[in-house]
Amino acid sequence: MLCMNRPCFLVIDREFPGTISTRKLVIETAKFNVLTAYSGKEALEIFKRFPAINGIVLDGGLDDVSCSDVALEVKQLQPKMPIIVIAAPGFGDCSEADYQLESFDPAKLLEILRGLKPEASAEIEKRNEELSREKLS
């Protein structure tokens, strides 16, 4: 049996009905694993407990801790950790982030995430094709 090591991403979003679940669903649909946090403080706690994640998707409009402060603390602990900021209209800047999306664009987000782990993404796609062929036969 093929054993895949699926990439895992930490998604940080404010608690608004539907927003975290939509981002989480989009990422999980691509067969990636997701940890979720609803505040900057919770995100930093999760990151310290699970430092082996492959990247962070960060809401630029966090209320409790600024986007820049979260990104700065993450980068102090792991300088190479990729951070993708989802910027709402009127968002200032988060220069510590590696990527910035001007709005929640699921296709663009997945393109970035797949680019962070291309080998694993290719393996997942290959496995999906194999499963699709098995269903048809």
Question: Which residue, chain included where needed, has tokens 């990151």?
Answer: 47
Q: Tokens in use for 78?
A: 């792991």
| pLDDT of 92 over the 80 cut | no
- The answer to pTM > 0.75 is yes
CATH architecture under which domain 8-136 falls: 3-Layer(aba) Sandwich (3.40)
More confident: 18 or 83: 83
75: three-class secondary structure by DSSP: helix
Quote the mean pLDDT of the chain.
85
Question: What DSSP string describes 102-118?
Answer: SS--HHHHHHHHHHHSH
More confident: 88 or 6: 6
Q: Tokens in use for 102?
A: 């001007």
| Tens-place pLDDT, residues 9-67 | 999 987 665 566 678 888 888 889 999 998 999 999 999 999 999 999 998 888 898 88
